[in-house]
Structure 1
Amino acid sequence: MTSTETEPEAVSQLLAMEPSEVRRKGTALRSGRIHDHHVWSIDVGTLANTDDDQTGTRALRQLVDRSRPATGRIQILPADCEVRIWWSADSDSGQGGFVLPADLVGQIAELGVDLYGTVYLEDDEPAEQRE
């Protein structure tokens, strides 16, 4: 979640959740740039595929599960708040295919949050052949 005016503490209260990370408007980045907005985020980290889940959506599912207390609350955030799920996965397909299971899509829809996804392709060609 990013906001220009709403303080991260207010977001925690409105969503009934605690964030993994908060970056406050006005703080300096390593580059020296100054944040022009607040950031309130939840992160579940990187999770590899398992034998039971080859879809690459395990981390996304954990994020949605962890965000469940915010269901029905995201819509009450002030207008300056922008909420997005940022998700990325690795694909073993040369075309970058992946599957979002219908039940997971439904849970994301219940949250009322847009998902921005990026799929990284696995390079099948060894590095020495590309040279």
Structure 2
Amino acid sequence: MIQWGRATFTVLSETTDPDVVTQLLGLDPSEVWRKGEMLRSGRVRTHHGWSLDVGALDNTEIDQTGTRPLRELLDRCTAAAGRVADLPEDCEARIWWSASSDSAQGGFVLPFEVAAQIGELGVDVYATVYLAEGDESDD
């Protein structure tokens, strides 16, 4: 079962400044970066970026689905529902959701309410589940 996860809504763009994304979505980002900025590695950013992150969240007694961070992110993005389509064509918006499982199977439930909120926002979700290492009997 999923034990904890994290979720981030990102918008990447070659030409649209992150301040424009903030205006169009009506959301304040957690982080922005701009094309041309130098990274510590010495590489130069090739895209502008805008992100809203909820950080890592554990399951609760009430919600054992492993989708708590995704739900919280979607709740914070309610104001942007229907606005993603208004972003300029060079913008690529998506949600990144990752979760950690306590088993080697890593199954999760995506409740229909969560799927409906994703549909209202109008973005794809890129999901990764990190599996616990099994013992030899799992082979």
* TM-score after normalising by structure 1: 0.92
- Answer 1 or 2: which has greater strand percent: 2
**By how many angstroms is 1:124 displaced?**
4.0
CA distance in structure 1 between the aligned counterparts of 2:63 and 2:45, rounded to whole angstroms: 37
- Number of residue-to-residue matches in the alignment: 125
Find 1:110's aligned residue among 117, 120, 123: 120
Ranked by relative contact order (alpha carbons within 8 Å, sequence separation 6 or more), the top structure is 2
C-alpha distance after superposition, 1:59-107 (max 9, x if no partner) = 0100000011101110010000000100000112321211111110111
Give yes or no for the alignment of 1:85 onto 2:73. Answer: no
Identity of aligned residues (%): 61
Question: C-alpha distance in 1, partners of 2:93/2:79?
Answer: 15
Partner of 1:128: none
Structure 2 portions without partners, runs of 5+: 1-10
Task: Give the SS at the match of 1:46.
Answer: strand
Which consecutive aligned stretches of 4+ in structure 1 deviate over 3 angstroms post-superposition?
none
The alignment partner of 1:25 has SS state of coil
Name the residue aligned to 1:6: 16
> Which TM-score applies when normalising by structure 2?
0.87
Correspondence for 2:129: 119
Identify which range, 75-84 or 92-101, moves more after superposition. 92-101
Deviation at 1:110, TM superposition (A): 0.7
Give unmatched runs, 5+ long, in structure 1: 126-131
Which one of the candidate residues 74, 79, 87 is aligned to 1:64? 74
**The residue matched to 1:42 in structure 2 has which SS?**
strand
